[in-house]
Amino acid sequence: MFDREILAKGPFLKIFWFLSLFVLVVLLIPPIRGIFFATGLRWLYILLFSLSTSALLTPVMIHTATKYGIVDHPGGRKIHTHPTPLWGGVAIIVSFIAALLANMILEAEVTAIIVGGVIVAGVGVIDDWKNLRASYKLAVQVIVVLLLVWSGIVLDLFPIHTTWGYILNVVLSIIWIVGLTNSMNFIDGMDGLATGISAVISLFLAIAAYQTSQPFMGWIALAMLGSTLGFLPYNFGLKRRALIFLGDSGSTFLGFVLSALAIKAAWADNNPIVSFATPILIFWVLIYDMAYISIERIITGKVKNFRQWIDYVGTDHIHHRIYAILKSRRQTVLLIILLSATLGIGALVLRNATTTDGIMTIVQALLVTIIISILEYYGRNNRERQ
Integer Rg of the chain from CA: 21
Q: Is the pTM of this model over 0.85?
A: yes
Phi, psi (deg, nearest 5) at residue 192: 80, -5
How far apart are the C-alpha atoms of 135 and 99, rounded to whole Å?
33
| Predicted local distance difference test score (pLDDT) of residue 2 | 46
How far apart are the C-alpha atoms of 319 and 336, rounded to whole Å?
8
386 residues of the chain, pLDDT tens digit each: 445 555 555 678 889 999 999 999 999 999 999 999 999 899 999 999 999 999 999 999 998 888 888 887 765 555 555 678 888 999 999 999 999 998 877 788 889 999 999 999 999 888 877 777 888 899 999 999 999 999 889 888 777 778 888 899 999 999 999 999 999 999 998 999 999 999 999 999 999 999 888 888 999 999 999 999 999 999 998 777 889 999 888 999 999 999 999 998 877 666 667 777 889 999 999 999 998 888 888 888 888 877 777 777 777 788 888 888 888 899 999 999 999 999 999 888 877 777 787 788 888 888 988 888 888 777 666 655 55
Q: Map 261-282 to HEC letters.
A: HHHHCCCCCCCHHHHHHHHHHH
| Predicted local distance difference test score (pLDDT) of residue 80 | 53
Residue 204: closest CA among 185, 225, 186: 225
| Predicted local distance difference test score (pLDDT) of residue 86 | 85
Partners of residue 84 on adjacent β-strands: 72
C-beta atoms surrounding 366 within 10 Å: 12
C-beta atoms surrounding 367 within 10 Å: 10
DSSP string, 139-179: HHHHHHHHHHHHHT----SS-TTSHHHHHHHHHHHHHHHHH
Three-state DSSP at 310 gives helix
Three-state DSSP at 85 gives strand
For residues 294, 201, 117, 141, the Cα torsion angle rounded to the nearest 10 degrees is -10
Helix (H) and strand (E) counts for the chain?
17, 2
Taking each helix axis from N to C end, the angle separating 193-211 and 215-235, rounded to the nearest 10 degrees, works out to 160
Contacts of 32 (CB under 8 A, 6+ apart): 26
How far apart are the C-alpha atoms of 13 and 159, rounded to whole Å?
52
How far apart are the C-alpha atoms of 350 and 298, rounded to whole Å?
34
| Predicted local distance difference test score (pLDDT) of residue 131 | 76
Contacts of 347 (CB under 8 A, 6+ apart): 204, 208, 277, 278, 279, 280, 281, 282, 361
| Predicted local distance difference test score (pLDDT) of residue 295 | 87
| Predicted local distance difference test score (pLDDT) of residue 1 | 43
How far apart are the C-alpha atoms of 44 and 47, rounded to whole Å?
5
Phi, psi (deg, nearest 5) at residue 85: -60, 145
Residue 281: closest CA among 368, 213, 221, 214: 368
